[in-house]
Each structure stands twice: as structure tokens, then as C-alpha cells.
Structure 1
Amino acid sequence: MKQEYQDLILQATGASSLRVGANIQTLWSGYGQIVRLHLEGCDRPSVVVKHVKFPEEAEHPGGWSTDRSHARKVRSYQVETHWYQNYSTSQSSRIPACLAACSHGDEMLIVLEDLDVAGYDQRRTSVKDREIKSCLSWLANFHALFLGVEPEGLWPVGTYWHLQTRPDELEAMDDAQLKAAAGEIDMILNKCSFKTIVHGDAKLANFCFSRSAGDVAAVDFQYVGGGCGMKDVVYFLGSCMEERECEKRVPGLLDYYFAELKKCVKTDVDFSALEKEWRDMFAFAWTDFHRFLLGWMPGHWKINRYSKQLTKEVLHKLKHDQKTSEH
């Protein structure tokens, strides 16, 4: 790590020295890495550093290495830096504190609180009911906190699969009916009366759990931006449950999310109107993500019976509404 970056970290933390520890993960398509740094001479034993270095030749796992893909990633890291420097959440939607950030040429550095030290040292690849509810509670608190807030400096429309940023994947789709309806589905989601700021990549892997699993914190805010809260909810549920589980458990988990949301929205919000609108958006948000997957990776495990059924319902509804408007 460059000396100037080390100096920045020492200055931000008040540490007398640092030692590079484990590489936590390599960033998508080889755009850098996330490392843990051990500190001496200050009250923090460690920090986590997201070090972005734009590659000369990007390697995309799905073969989507294009100029558009590169520009989207560059923007995503700018958005994440802005998020950590300018936005804060409550204890109920915990995120790591940002201690310092800088960018220089084709490199960016974000120095974050180590959530492991803060007690969120558990990661999950599969989850029980309690852990799913902890994440839904985090999302409900997050969406309530930012309800009606303009996403200044963030993506105008959050989520990494947002249609406007994914024309190549749309073009690659085989499903002609869904392809034709993609713009309308996107418009319906974007026209929501009740908008919030969405995490934009709220998959299970981006949640850090406490030992008891009763508390969670979230990381990775590259695609944070405006939109309907249902986008985060459907993406999260789809990230941790297979089709049969979805069929069986989604209705109860949606009820839980809305009960949590109701507890934390401000009293001047017409909650019944909000709940009705967002429940109506559930199938649209799920179909929107399904549209992205069909173009991006047609063999993905999330393209399942449950997703196809919801998509069928949405397309049927759009067709019905169109006929009604013609008469």
C-alpha cells in the first residue's frame, strides 16, 4: 500500500503504526480489494479498507466487460464514497462508520470501521427465520429513515440491475414478451408515490450478523439510490431462499417487513397507502430483477418457478390493463 495512503489512515485513526492483515475479498471483476489493517497506538485494533484500483483490462465473470460496464463500476465507487461521507443511518440500520476516503487518478480508498470489532463478526451463507427477520427489520428501518429523501449524490434510481444502466443485458434476452414490457415495468416502479433510498444490493452476503443473530449491519453501498423499498426486499428474499421456500414463506415475511416498517415511519405518513402501493409493487420488483437475470446469466439458479410465476402474473396484468384502457 502506498505511503500516502498509510499516512492518511494513521492520521484518520490516530494510530502510531499499521500492519496489513488478511485480504477479506477481491472486488468484482478485479477492481481492487478489501483488506483488514491492524493498528497500534490507538483505541481501534483494526480498520477495513476498500481499495479500488481500476484495472487496465477488466475480467468479468459473465463476460460483460464493456466500456459501459466499466463506466457503471467507476460511478458505483464514486457513489459509495459519497454515501459514506455524506449519509448516516440509525443504530437500527447499522452501517460501518467512514473514517476517511480519497481518490487519486485510477485509485480510490475508503477507510471503514471494522464491524467485526463492533460485534458484527458473523457471516451467513444460509439463514434461519430469525436471521431473515433481522435483515428485513434492518431494511424496514433503513427505508423508513429515508422515506421521501432525495438521493443527492447517489444513483437517481438505485439497484445494480436498473434497466437504464443495463441495455446490453436487455438486448441479450430471449423472452420477447418480457423484453417488450421491460420499459413499462421500470416506469411503474419509478412512478411510485412513496419513494425512499434503497440499499441497491441487499443480498445476504452484504449483511454482517452479531453472535446472537438478533442484530445486523450492512455493507456495500455501490448501488444505493432512489426507489421503491420493495426492490431491496425482493432481492434480499431471493438471495436466501429457493423457489419452494419462497412459495411457502414470502407472504408471512412480507407481513413481518410491513409490521416493522409501520413501527418506524413518521406519524404524518399515510401508512395504509404506502403499504398498499408497495405490496402492489412486489411482483413488479421481482419481475424487474428476473428480467435482468434472463439477459445477464440465463442459467442462474434464481431463474426458478417462483420467479416465472410472478413474471407471468405481471405480464398478464399489464395486458389486462392495456385492454381496459383501450375500451
Structure 2
Amino acid sequence: MSNLPLPKDPGGIDKFWLTQMLRESGTHAEVTDFSTESIGTGQVGENIRFSLKGRGDLPKTLVGKFPSPDPVSRQTGIAMLNYRREVHFYQHLQSRVNIQTPRIYHADIDDNHNFVLVMEDLAPGKQGDQLGGCDLEAGYLAMEQLAHLHGPVWGDTSLSHELITSRKNDPGTMKELYDQLSPGFIDRYDARLSSKEKAMVKAVGEYLIAYLMNYRGPQTLIHIDYRLDNMMFGGPYPLAVVDWQSIAYGCGLNDASYFVGTSLNPAERAKSDEHLLRRYFDALRGYEVKISWEDCWKYYCHNAPAGLIMAVIASMIVGETDRGNDMFMVMAKRSAQMCHDLNTIDIIKQG
């Protein structure tokens, strides 16, 4: 148990706090001075790089994550239990899976949802480009890493903590939320959405309960927001995955479809769906996961709306920014096209 006070924001951290935090983590060092800069593109959390000066086994830089300073986004993080989930992941689940994540020096949260994560700096790694998308090489790497998240705990019913199982939203409640928010989504982005894309937003809403209820196979720990903004390529690791604030217990193919559908140019994705999914499927077999290729493909197609659903809901409940608007449009458009290409609505209807 740490004796460190919990800072409410980056301004609450000083050199003495950093020194004690490092020593509690097993790093023998003293911080004598530091500077800070804001990094990343997150909307629900705030990421700060600490550049350190001092003595001993001192890392040159660390990254701290805190609640968003935007009151709307912060309240969303509190209401959706995002901050609690991320701290829980690093405290209790990181060691149970094999996906590459940054080293965590300190993780703490209080009853008022003030939290801090201090982690290794993944520089000179580069954050994935959500707007520009990724190439196939990066896609293959992400799909392999995804198998290392799902495989170790596939079908593991001990993942029963309320912070994970509470993400299994009641289908009726989820549909009510989607139906409430989707008209505002279409209205806000009317000039940027094609008639075909608007029709897909409505079709997904119409069949949302079937979409949520059709999968009856083994479940696993899923990231929910497995996309390029939450990935760091290069640096200490070929790929490290961050932002574990939405974790749930559900169908692994949700993450797979969400990533591919939101991350690749639609033309490139359409030529490569099976190849990318095969990379994930083959890596899963290393964990003796029992799923046929036919079921893997079926639920990959079934979950194609995942990115569209996220774009519709998230865009309406976090603070609006220009970059956020561009991001949600990219996610929605790519995912809508994936649904068309894979005949997803028909697959959902068939159950």
C-alpha cells in the first residue's frame, strides 16, 4: 500500500512526490527538478510527460495520466467508470495477459475518481494515426497483439469483477441510449455523412439488440477501444497498447472488427479482411483456444458495426473538439463501409 498522497491534477505533483513514487516502485533515484508537457490526443484523460533531472537510476522521462480537465469529458469518465477500470486493469489484470503494455510505476484512485497513472515513456515510439490509418504491416502486428490479450483468459469466468462485467450493458438500455443519441449524431454531422452512411446508422440501431445478443460463445477480456490512437509503434517495443479505461468481458471478435474497421483505408481493408483475421486466428491457436475459422469469420463480420456504434455514442457524450469530430467521422465512415462490404446487417438478422 502506497503512502503517497493522491494528486488531483498534474499541478499537485512535485519533485518530492516523484522521488517517493520512484522509490516505492523499486527505483533508487532522486528527482531534483523536472519539466512537463502535454502529449497525446485522449479526450477522457489527460497525458503529461515529465522530463526528470536528478540522481541515481533515474528514467529521463515518465508519462502521467490524469482525469480530463474538460468538465464534460471528466464527468463522462466518472459516469462510465473509465478511470476505475483503467486503474483496475493495471493493478490486477495486466499480469494475466501477454499483450504488450507500458511498465506502470504507480496507479492509484480515490472515491471521488481522482486518479493518477505513472508509466514508462514509450518515446521515441509514435502514436498510431487514427485519421490517416495504418498499413498492413501495422495491422498484422496489432492483430497478433490482440490475440495475446484474448488468448490467455479466453473463457476464463474468474474475470467476474463488477468493473468488467458491468460493461455488459443490458441490450434494452444500450438500444435506448443509441436511439437517444443517434439523431443528434446525424444532425451534427449531416453535411459530412453520405445518405448510405446515415442509412447504416439507422439500420444498426434497428438491429442493435440482436447485434448485442447473438453471440453465445466463450468470452474473454476485451479492450473495447482497440484502435490506432491507443497504440504506440516503435520505441521500446514494436507495439504497445494503452488506454485500458473501457475493458469488458465479451466476444473477442468485437475488438478484432473494431480495430480493422476503424484503422485501415476501406479499399485496403476490403482486400485484406481475411488475411488480417487469419493472423489473429493463428495466434489464438497458440493458447489452445477452441474456435473454428467459420465461427471466427462469422463473428468478425457480425461485429463490423462496433466502430460505428462507438462513434455515434462517444461523439455525443464527450467534449466536442475539431480533432474529435474528424476522428469520429473517420471511424463512422470506415465502419459503415465495412458493414456494407461484409453484409453485416443480413448476418445479424440471421443470428
Residue 197 (structure 1) aligned to one of 221, 236, 246: 221
State the Cα RMSD in Å. Answer: 3.4
How far apart, in 1, do the equivalents of 2:236 and 2:107 lie?
32
- If the length of structure 1 is used for normalisation, what is the TM-score? 0.76
CA contact (8 A) 1:202 1:235 kept: yes
Deviation at residue 7 of structure 1 after TM alignment: 5.2
Q: State the identity %.
A: 18
Residue 34 (structure 2) aligned to one of 8, 11, 19: 19
CA contact (8 A) 1:151 1:225 kept: no
Partner of 1:324: none
Q: Where do 1:128-167 residues align within 5 Å?
A: 128-149=135-156, 150-153=158-161, 154-156=163-165, 167=176
Residue 173 (structure 1) aligned to one of 172, 182, 195: 182
Counterpart residue type for residue 309 of structure 1: H
Residue 6 (structure 1) aligned to one of 18, 34, 56: 18
Partner of 1:270: 290
Residues 1:286 and 1:28: Cα distance change in structure 2 (over 3 Å):
same
Q: 2:287 aligned with 1:287, yes or no?
A: no
Deviation at residue 92 of structure 1 after TM alignment: 5.5
Deviation at residue 71 of structure 1 after TM alignment: 3.4
How far apart, in 2, do the equivalents of 1:238 and 1:199 lie?
15
Residues 1:206 and 1:53: Cα distance change in structure 2 (over 3 Å):
closer
Partner of 1:219: 242
Partner of 2:125: 121
CA contact (8 A) 1:52 1:109 kept: yes
CA contact (8 A) 1:34 1:50 kept: yes
How far apart, in 1, do the equivalents of 2:97 and 2:203 lie?
44
SS at match of 1:222: coil
How far apart, in 1, do the equivalents of 2:106 and 2:64 lie?
11
Counterpart residue type for residue 227 of structure 1: G
How far apart, in 2, do the equivalents of 1:159 and 1:220 lie?
19
CA contact (8 A) 2:175 2:209 kept: no
Residue 255 (structure 1) aligned to one of 275, 278, 286: 278
Residues 1:194 and 1:176: Cα distance change in structure 2 (over 3 Å):
same
CA contact (8 A) 1:25 1:35 kept: no
Residues 1:177 and 1:306: Cα distance change in structure 2 (over 3 Å):
closer
Count of aligned positions? 299
Which segments of 5 or more consecutive residues in structure 1 lack a partner in the other structure?
322-327
> Which of the pair has the greater relative contact order for Cα pairs under 8 Å at 6+ separation?
2
CA contact (8 A) 1:170 1:179 kept: yes
Partner of 2:57: 43
How far apart, in 1, do the equivalents of 2:51 and 2:101 lie?
19
SS at match of 1:41: strand
CA contact (8 A) 2:125 2:236 kept: no
Deviations 1:18-60 (A, max 9, x none): 513332236415x5433334253232424534342465x6245
CA contact (8 A) 2:19 2:29 kept: no
Partner of 1:314: 344
Partner of 1:325: none
How far apart, in 2, do the equivalents of 1:128 and 1:103 lie?
37
